[in-house]
């Protein structure tokens, strides 16, 4: 059980911190120019893509915090979020490599949710 606990904690911190960092970066664009990932979908948004990405950033920060506080629920939310991002990238016709990466990360988030059910804790 100790190994499962360590795996769960590693995934919890990974899927908690990474969305927070990515969410914060939506305000600075230090890692990448996030609005570029909207591709052709940018024309479907009724306001500026930069504003949209800041809203996305806020959602990602909340999701990351939720994973840290309530890992099972947060992991399912992050999993769904990553699958939506992958679908958006595929529909946009670009960044297929990023879409594949996000699908793989969604599988990791699902694994975190499943492991959290095995670990006795108050953080479910």
Token readout for 19 is: 């969305």
- Provide CB contacts within 8 A for 51, sequence distance 6+: none
C-alpha–C-alpha distance, residues 64 and 110, integer Å: 14
- pTM summary value: 0.86
Q: Give pLDDT, residue 121.
A: 65
Q: Give pLDDT, residue 1.
A: 61
Q: What is the dihedral of CA 80, 86, 90, 93, to 10 degrees?
A: 140
- The pLDDT of 110-122, averaged and rounded, is 84
- Provide CB contacts within 8 A for 97, sequence distance 6+: none
- The pLDDT of 6-28, averaged and rounded, is 95
Q: Give pLDDT, residue 122.
A: 46
Whole-number average pLDDT of the chain = 90
Q: Give pLDDT, residue 43.
A: 82
How confident is residue 123, by pLDDT bands cut at 50, 70 and 90? low
């Amino acid at each position: 059980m100790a190994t499962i606990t360590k795996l769960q904690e590693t995934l919890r911190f990974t899927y908690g911190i990474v969305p927070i960092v990515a969410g914060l970066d939506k305000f600075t664009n230090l890692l990448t120019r996030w609005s570029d990932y909207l591709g052709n979908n940018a024309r479907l948004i009724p306001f500026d893509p930069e504003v949209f990405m800041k809203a996305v950033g806020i959602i990602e920060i909340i999701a990351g915090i939720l994973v840290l506080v309530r890992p099972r629920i947060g992991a399912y939310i992050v999993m769904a979020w990553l699958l939506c991002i992958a679908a958006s990238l595929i529909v946009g016709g670009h960044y297929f490599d990023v879409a594949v990466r996000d699908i793989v990360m969604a599988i990791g988030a699902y694994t975190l949710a499943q492991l959290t059910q095995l670990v006795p804790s108050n953080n479910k």
